[in-house]
Amino acid sequence: MDTLQIINTLEKVKQQNPLVHNITNVVVTNFTANGLLALGASPVMAYAKEEVADMAKISGALVLNIGTLTSDEIEAMIIAGKSANDHGVPVIFDPVGAGATPYRTETSRKIIDELSISILRGNSAEIANVIGEAQTIKGVDAGKEAGNTVELAQKAAKMLKTTVIITGKDDVITDGETTYVVHNGHPILTKVTGSGCLLSSIIGAFTAVEKNVLLASISALSIYGIAAEIAASNKASDGPGSFQIELLNRLATISAEEIQGHIKIEKL
Amino acid sequence: MDTLQIINTLEKVKQQNPLVHNITNVVVTNFTANGLLALGASPVMAYAKEEVADMAKISGALVLNIGTLTSDEIEAMIIAGKSANDHGVPVIFDPVGAGATPYRTETSRKIIDELSISILRGNSAEIANVIGEAQTIKGVDAGKEAGNTVELAQKAAKMLKTTVIITGKDDVITDGETTYVVHNGHPILTKVTGSGCLLSSIIGAFTAVEKNVLLASISALSIYGIAAEIAASNKASDGPGSFQIELLNRLATISAEEIQGHIKIEKL
Amino acid sequence: MDTLQIINTLEKVKQQNPLVHNITNVVVTNFTANGLLALGASPVMAYAKEEVADMAKISGALVLNIGTLTSDEIEAMIIAGKSANDHGVPVIFDPVGAGATPYRTETSRKIIDELSISILRGNSAEIANVIGEAQTIKGVDAGKEAGNTVELAQKAAKMLKTTVIITGKDDVITDGETTYVVHNGHPILTKVTGSGCLLSSIIGAFTAVEKNVLLASISALSIYGIAAEIAASNKASDGPGSFQIELLNRLATISAEEIQGHIKIEKL
């Protein structure tokens, strides 16, 4: 996986403007839509069970995020996901807060059971809870990273037969066989609500234009992480408010040169 | 329609602080409320069928936006709209994504059938789909503008017996007899989610203080477009994040001199 | 109540990162979450009746805000509130728009009747309407402050046997016996949607780490007000968009020196 492939995948997002259907939480809708627009994708949010099958099938990717789940929304996610599965549209699942309440854990497992998920993305506590490993979580933010996230990601990928991404200080991407670590990103991302949710939707945008799921994932993670690094070097000292706005700016303008200058990917 | 009338209409918004009741989508609530506050209006969002009739009747305008519609929300929109109609409160309707799914198209027609709408605002694909003309739409963003938007707007206005606004590169306003084109605005608006939704709510604020619907509409479109132009000249090169914030700043501070210096209205 | 106690309470928020469970309106979710993160707290939004009891009981505070109430959400608030009451988790209630519609007034009273509320925070019109005093309200923004807010707050506190905070030009805090006025803050806060809602959630964060409700409240009000003053002196002239972002920045960075230099608390 070389840097030119990654730059090329970003170029495909900008040229194809893929429609990304998000069923996501009410905290991050605006930030997610603006982040996708900045990158060059076309966001849509649609939640009604009367229309989600229609919207999912015309989309390039479907992103499911249970950050503020309700029973109606879960029903819509299942309907949308089945439509996506039937029409070859990749489904990205972000099990926000799995482990924080039994309802979130059970719902996460139900979604994974009933749908074919292309990518599962979460922090280590969420992924651990999804597969029944004990790891504490406080609300929707990860606890201290315990144990080996590479091992956890590989175990989850094999158990669930999907690509798993665990984000944290470093980001691990694995399909159970091949494993990469992306070392880009910046700690101030944890001070912006929805920075992980937006990343899941951006992964969706990349899977919409690139069938190789590992390439799409690594492209999304490295480019998002680099945009965050540049935004942080410009604005982190001003505070998290200014950083959040600058991140949108940098997602819109990130260049091939910046990617080449910052990228830090490791194949295990 | 001269520029002084438009400046005067803005002055009325600032002095009367009209209450604008929005039943809008979950992506744009915050940006819409902040945009209305910046302009000098008083936003309220209320969705419960138990209260929307009460809220609509004390408001200066009711804005209905189906960007993330659900069956409960549609029911509330109809209740609110009937209350607005009964109490002489103008209703602005923004059929977000009409044509993208059958549910959006059918819901748009139901709202227009059951309520008396003062202004219908959308992009050309949305308006075309509302009146049954074929035009493609991708998600909730307009496709390439095909055909003659002036003709389309006039046809829709005559068919629906209402004022129709089609926004795009240029904005067309028509009641079917008299037609204006506003040439203000900036392309970077398409990189900010909810820039069209906010415009619909701002049109609501102007109709709350000015009974002449064409004057209210043209005032809203030109002032919003000019604020966007000035914001873009200050911040577009920084990126869409900074532009979005600067647009709020400029809506709060736009002056009579700026309006006179930038306004570009054409009567057809 | 001296300034060192207040600085110390902020320090406890930053060290303990309390989980604050918000059931709040769809307009302010993002701003509230970012404000809590900036301050050092850990926000969670959870609305499903299947999980709110579980989430409330592991939280440091529960904040209920009826800004965009629906019947499902009210049901969830009651369930969450009872769980919080059972587990000693303080409940902060923000009766947004009480008095604007009968539904909001009745719902506010129902919540107060069925739950044990630690702190009731609103503008004077909202608090007046909750206790059945006549005071007009326009939508969700306070009308002109009429009458004596100190007297109103004390009357409400005695009647409801809780701590009452009325915010406005000055902020009044009282448990019915002891009354403080905080003179910090800035008028541009009224141009940012959700500035009061965020304050309620920040009060929640302080009550999560400090059992003395008056100390927690005064700490929250003075620190929020000072952050707003500093943000305004940096950015108010740019406009409300820039001020909103700068407020998040300043909540993240406010120092003991800034608190000591700006604080204006009065014991009545």
Structure tokens belonging to residue C248:
């998040």
Q: What is the 3-state secondary structure (H, E, C) of chain C?
A: CCHHHHHHHHHHHHHHCCEEEEECCCCCHHHHHHHHHHHCCEEEECCCCCCHHHHHHCCCEEEEECCCCCHHHHHHHHHHHHHHHHCCCCEEEECCCECCEHHHHHHHHHHHHHCCCCEEEECHHHHHHHCCCCCCEECCEECCCCCCHHHHHHHHHHHHCCEEEECCCCEEEECCCCEEEECCCCHHHHHCCCHHHHHHHHHHHHHHHCCCHHHHHHHHHHHHHHHHHHHHHHHHHHCHHHHHHHHHHHHHHCCHHHHHHHCCEEEC
Q: What ranges do the domains of chain B cover?
A: 3-267
Report residue B138's pLDDT band, with 50, 70 and 90 as the boundaries: low
Is C9 marked within a binding site?
A: no
Q: Which residues of chain A have pLDDT under 70?
A: 136-147
How do residues B195-207 score in pLDDT, each as one tens digit? 999 999 999 999 9
| pLDDT at A160 (0 to 100) | 97
How far apart are alpha carbons C148 and C166 in whole angstroms?
11
A250 is in an annotated binding site: no
B139: pLDDT strictly greater than 90: no
- CATH hierarchy code of domain A3-267: 3.40.1190.20
Is C144 a residue whose pLDDT tops 60?
no
According to DSSP H, which parts of chain B are helical? Answer: 3-16, 29-39, 52-57, 71-86, 102-114, 124-130, 149-160, 195-209, 213-235, 240-253, 256-262
Q: Which of C44, C250, C252 sits opposite A139 (nearest CB)?
A: C44
Tokens 């309006």 appear where? B259
B262: tokens are 């930038």
Structure pTM? 0.96
pLDDT at B38 over 80: yes
Residue C167 is assigned to a ligand binding site: yes
pLDDT, mean over chain C: 95
CA-based nearest residue to C268, from C144, C150, C156 = C150
Average pLDDT over residues B169-182: 96
CB contact C239 to B (< 8 Å):
yes
Q: Is B253 on the interface with A (CB under 8 A)?
A: no
Q: Is the pLDDT of residue C145 over 60?
A: no
Q: How confident is the model at residue B1 (pLDDT cuts 50, 70, 90)?
A: confident
Question: Chain B contact for C187, CB < 8 A?
Answer: no
Q: Which pLDDT band, with edges at 50, 70 and 90, does B72 fall under?
A: very high
Strand duo C171-174 + C179-182: pairing? antiparallel
- Show binding-site residues of B for ATP: 121, 167
What pLDDT, in 10s, does the model give residues C189-199? 999 999 999 99
Q: Return the higher-pLDDT residue of C136 and B121.
A: B121
* Predicted pLDDT at C146: 47
B187 vs chain A: nearest CA distance in angstroms?
13
Q: Please tell me the predicted confidence (pLDDT) of residue A146.
A: 47
Average of per-residue pLDDT values in chain A:
95
In eight-state DSSP terms, residue A59 is S
Both tokens of A99, joined, read 């482990």
For residue C143, is pLDDT > 60? no
* pLDDT for position A78: 98
The separation between the first and the last C-alpha atoms of chain C, rounded to the nearest angstrom, is 12
> Is the CB of residue B47 less than 8 Å away from at least one CB of chain A?
no
Return the structure tokens found at C235.
Answer: 């950015």
Q: Which residue of B has its CA nearest to A57?
A: B101
Check residue B268 and give its pLDDT: 92
The amino acid present at B149, given as its one-letter code, is T
Provide the token pair at C85.
Answer: 């009451």
Across residues B103-117, what is the average pLDDT? 98
Q: Is the pLDDT score of C137 beyond 80? A: no
Per-residue pLDDT tens over the stretch B258-267? 999 999 999 9
Facing C71 at nearest CB: one of B38, B50, B253: B50
Q: Are A156 and A164 in contact (CB under 8 A)?
A: yes
Interface test with A, best of B103, B192, B249 (most A CBs within 10 A): B103
C197-236 per-residue burial string, b: 16 or more CB within 10 A, e: under 16: bbbbbbbbbbbbbbeebbbbbbbbbbbbbbbbbbbbebbb
Chain segment C27-76, per-residue pLDDT in tens: 999 999 999 999 999 999 999 999 999 999 999 999 999 999 999 999 99
Question: Which of C140, C190, C244 should one mutate to test binding to chain B, selecting the residue with the greatest count of B CBs within 10 A?
Answer: C140
Please, which pLDDT band fits residue C1 given cuts at 50, 70 and 90?
A: confident
What is the model's pLDDT at position B263?
97
pLDDT exceeds 60 at position B146: no
Amino acid at C171: D
